[in-house]
Each structure stands twice: as C-alpha cells, then as structure tokens.
Amino acid sequence: MGKPSRISLAEVQRQVDGAQRRGDSAHFDFSEGRAPTLADLTESLFFSPGDGRIWLNDQRMVLMHSSALGHLRRELIDTLGLHRARGLLTRAGYVAGARDAELVRARWPDADAASVFMAGTRLHALEGVVKVTPLAFEFDIDQGRYEGEFLWEHASEDDEHIAAYGIGTEPACWSQVGYASGYVTTLFGQLVVFREVECRSMGASACRVVGRHAAAWGDVSEDLRYLQARDYRELRSEAAEPLAATPAARPAPRRRPSDDRHELVGASSAFNSACHQLDRVAPTQATVLFTGESGVGKEAFARRLHRISRRAEQPFVAVNCAAIPETLIESELFGVDRGAFTGASRSRAGRFERADGGTLFLDEIGSLSLVAQGKLLRALQEGEIERVGGSQTLHVDVRLVAATNVDLQAEVKAGRFREDLFYRLNVYPVHLPPLRERRDDVPLLMNHFLQRESLRHGRATRGFTPRAVRALLSYAFPGNIRELQNLVERGVISAEDGSAIDVPHLFRREQLSDETLLAIGAQGVLAAPRSAGQPPLRLRDAAPQATLHDIEGRLLREVLAECDGNVTAAARQLGLSRAQFAYKLDKTQSPARRRTRRPKAGAE
C-alpha cells in the first residue's frame, strides 16, 4: 500500500483527457477507467418514486431546489449572523462528505487510495453541487501528507450567495469546503483542512480550493472555528453583527481561560444536536441530567454548560458520587460541623456550599444512598442544606447538573432511587451518544488528541499508519472518548519520534484477537475486539484459501448466530450500526440476490 504518489498538473490534464493508463504505480490515472468511475457512482443512485425515496447506495438522499437551499442559507445568515451561519453550513457539509467517504470505502473496499480520493470529486459533481477538476494532487498516507488543489466550477453555493448578496470580499462556498474536509479527513483519518483561496463570490471566474494536512497549514484555529461546534455564547454574540464586518476587521473574541482537557470536539449530527440542546438550556436555571455510557464526556459537557451559563464567573464544583465512600458522601456534599462525629475536629464546608452561586455537578448520581438522596431532594426543593451535626439551616443558590450511566428509571422501579428525586432531576435530560454512533467525529478526535498528547509528552510522531486509521475507525470503543484518548496517548508514547503510530502502538495484545488483526488487514472488514469476559470470537473452519470476502461474510453470520439472530445486538458486537451490519451482510450474499433487493424496496 501507500507508495508516495505525486502528480503534476500536466499529468492530470493528460490523464483527464483520457491518456493511456501508465504502468508506473507512482502515477495515478484519473480517467474514467478506474473504479469507482462516474458511471459506477451513478449506478448507485436509485430513484424510487413509488415509495418516496432516493438512494445513494444505502443512504437516503433528497432532491432539493437549489433556490430553496439558497433561501435557507439567506435566512440563516440574516438571523444568526455570518459566522454562525457559516459554521452551521460548514459542519453540515462536513457530515455529507464524511457520509460519502464511508459509502465509497464500504462499496469499493479494493479501490486504490487515489481513486477513492477522486471519487469524492465525482460524487460532489453527481450530487449537483459543483464541477471539480483536480489541478495538483499529491499524497503519501504513510508519511501523513496530503496536498490537493482543485478548480470548482458552477458552484451552486456561489449562485445562491451572489443572487442574495452580490460580489463581496469573502469566499462563500462554505458547505462545499466542509464537504471536502469531511470526505478527505474521513478517508485519511487525519484532519485535512480545505480553504477556498479564490471564489466566484469574490469576483473570480471559478473557485479554487487547496486542501492540506492540518499540521502543514500551521495555524488552523480559524478553520476549526467553523468546523467544530464551539462555545455557543461567543457565536451568539456575533449574531447581531452586521454582514459587512469581515473576520479581519473584527476584534478577536476574548479567549476565556479554558481547560483544554474539557474542550469538546466534533462535527457529527449526533454531537451537534447535543450541543444545541445544551445551548438551549444553558441560560436557564433548569436542572440538567446527562445520560450516556461511561467515557462519553459527561463532565466536559457539564463544564461547557457552566461556561456558557449566567453563572460562568461563579464556581463549578464536580463530585463523582461513586468515588466517595457511602459513609462520607453526606459530609462531603453538605459539610460538617465541629464535633459531629469522632475525628471531626474542624467545621468544614461541603461541596454544596462551595458551589454557592455556581454549578454543582454530581456524576454517577445513581450511586447515592437513599439517605443522601433525601437530603439532596430537600436541598433542591428548599434551596437549604444542613451540615452533618449542625443545627443551622444554610441557604444555597446552586444549579444542579447531574449525570448517570445507569437507567435511573429502572433504579426507581427497583426501589434504589427515589422517584420524586428522579422527576426533579429529569427536567431536561440530554443524552450523549456513544462514540460508535458518532463515527464522523473519530478522525477529528484522533487529530485533536494526537496534537494534544504530542505536545504534552514532547513527542513528534508523524500521524497514524493507514492500518492504524482503519483499526481506529472500525473499533467499537466500549470506553468511548476516554478510551480513544487513552489509545492515542499510548500511541504517542510508544511510537518512535518521526515515525507514524501503528496498530501495536495503540492496542495491547489482549485488546485485539488474531481475527481482529486479520480483519484490520482487510479493507471493508470491520471487526471489533470483544469486551472482557466474552468468549474469543472464532472463525470456525476458515479455510486458509478463503477470500476476505468469505471471511467477512462468515464473521457477520457467526456473530449473528451467536446473538440468536438479533441484528441490533450483532451489529453492536462488531461496532457497527444496525444499517451498516445489514448492508454488509447483504453485500456478502450473492450478487444476483443483491441486485433484486432495491426494486423490491421500491415496490413495497
């Protein structure tokens, strides 16, 4: 894999013009001969008007009027301000690009890297967004380098922008730039940032974009500003800003001293919807309950909630209820008065008092004893607490934010959690998705942790090897973001300076079964290590001459059988969505059978 690949403009022109395919593997042929061709991609587009659906392979599409999108775009700009609208559109584009990259990878697992990169330009054209011509294109996956320059003609976004605002001083192809970044980043597994250096909305005859690996650009904070859901308060303050103001003319937003560890990174729709919920509830006084698996970043969300609330200048106090022994939890939360019990020689304020005026974050609230739950309820209802051993009632003004990774409703049914407290906490629940449900964010998070851990440990690693990228993109992450962060940190420490992080640097032997390593070697096979306590996954009677296609099929069917035919459970075992699992299973059936499926769906 991954021979350094360079191509000159003249070479591209010659090849685009249909010149002969060269035997030299260092050169790539952009002519229509290499899969997936435009014809291949067009074939995966199905119109199913009988049931009101359009499919691009297994993804549902919508045919929209460009002018309706233009109208939406204009309203976004007028109501939210230029920068926030640009952020929303860039992220929406990123998601579309990431989806298309997944589609190409799943559908053409054997295509070479250059063709897969180029398929993005063809899909972008097929979807009616823009005509793309490569001007220069050079990448080296092993060295973690990507550099591409493309000409964009007839950009739909420019048509609408110019119609609404005329020619201006800023580029306007925001969602298209997001798409390019999402597509290449998802394939590459490292953050590749695209910039529009010339745009029709600035008076150019066509748009020109340049994509580079984030490290090669140097400072990408301005790009990330649109790519990542950011501090919503900062963004909101821009809403009132007149459209004419350019980013350069505007004073830089005040950087709040923020703990980098708690920065939220993501562009996926699941992540964005959680951020929007947060944005909605933050300015209120409502109690917020975060639910979600361990390691999804509940504390980071709680900190962000505090930071964008009106209590931002007041204390944020976090308590992990499960980490404090049951006998101490009350004194920890509510404080102690001298002489309350043997050893309490000094009076001490509890976390409630320390959080006065600010936010108290109670993690793993399900582990509180029933006695402590009763006191907590009183504190919430009356705004009053009593120290342990104290006789005085103290007034506290605290906004409570709680988190749980257990089903509190089930705990209520089991008699382990007070129902009245549950309803008190469950005013505004925010569910944080597990990492396997926001895979679009994995490359962004990989890049984020790589930068941070390299800096922290003084290492100069050169990104990830292609198989490390595939392993991370297909891993189930039972420990979610915290696990990804730990894996990357281990990788940064284990890899030699100047070399790329590979699979053995990331995973410990016991985390990966032989079958998983085999699966990682095969593009398109997604297998995840099983969690502890489960029997090792075995590919029974896998003949040595079996093709990877066969092995993938067996793996899928075997896991399905182990899960008693429950597709959802089987998908979870392999770190796939239900739809992905069903699609892959379907793909391993005979081609003849597959072909008949789509029309059937149309006729139902």
Structure tokens that stand for 444 in this block: 């962004």
Residue 153 C-beta: closest distance to Zn ion, Å: 10
User: Does 207 interact with Zn ion (rule: CB under 5 A)?
Assistant: yes
C-beta closer to Zn ion: residue 200 or 505: 200
Alpha-helix runs per DSSP H in 406-495: 408-413, 419-425, 442-457, 466-474, 480-494
C-beta closer to Zn ion: residue 11 or 160: 160
Which segment (16-24, 98-106, 191-199, 517-525) binds Zn ion by CB under 5 A? 191-199
C-beta closer to Zn ion: residue 196 or 453: 196
C-beta closer to Zn ion: residue 176 or 404: 176
Which segment (198-206, 408-416, 459-467, 577-585) binds Zn ion by CB under 5 A? 198-206
Residue 10 C-beta: closest distance to Zn ion, Å: 25
Which segment (13-21, 151-159, 394-402, 585-593) binds Zn ion by CB under 5 A? 151-159
493 Cβ partners below 8 Å, 6+ apart? Answer: 453, 457, 459
C-beta closer to Zn ion: residue 204 or 427: 204
Residue 217 C-beta: closest distance to Zn ion, Å: 19
Question: Per-residue b/e over 223-250, b at no fewer than 16 CB within 10 Å?
Answer: bbbbbbbbbbbbbeebeeeeeeeeeeee
C-beta closer to Zn ion: residue 197 or 455: 197
Adjacent-strand bridge partners of 55: 46, 60
User: Does 111 interact with Zn ion (rule: CB under 5 A)?
Assistant: no
C-beta closer to Zn ion: residue 173 or 430: 173
User: Does 488 interact with Zn ion (rule: CB under 5 A)?
Assistant: no
Residue 157 C-beta: closest distance to Zn ion, Å: 6
Q: Where in 407-426 is the site for Zn ion (CB under 5 A)?
A: none
Binding Zn ion by CB under 5 A: which of 129, 199, 305, 333? 199
The phi, psi pair for 413, rounded to 5°, reads -60, -35
Among candidate residues 384, 272, 279, the one with its CA nearest the CA of residue 334: 384
Q: How many residues bind Zn ion (CB under 5 A)?
A: 6
Which segment (192-200, 245-253, 384-392, 494-502) binds Zn ion by CB under 5 A? 192-200
Cα(96)–Cα(93) distance, integer angstroms = 5
x/- track of binding to Zn ion for residues 156-175 (CB under 5 A)? --x--------------x--
User: Does 129 interact with Zn ion (rule: CB under 5 A)?
Assistant: no
Question: Per-residue b/e over 251-280, b at no fewer than 16 CB within 10 Å?
Answer: eeeeeeeeeeeeebbbbbbbbbebbebbbe
Cα(287)–Cα(304) distance, integer angstroms = 15
Longest Cα separation, the chain: 90
C-beta closer to Zn ion: residue 171 or 292: 171
Binding Zn ion by CB under 5 A: which of 7, 113, 129, 155? 155
Adjacent-strand bridge partners of 290: 403, 430
Residue 98 C-beta: closest distance to Zn ion, Å: 21
Give contact residues for Zn ion (rule: CB under 5 A).
155, 158, 173, 199-200, 207
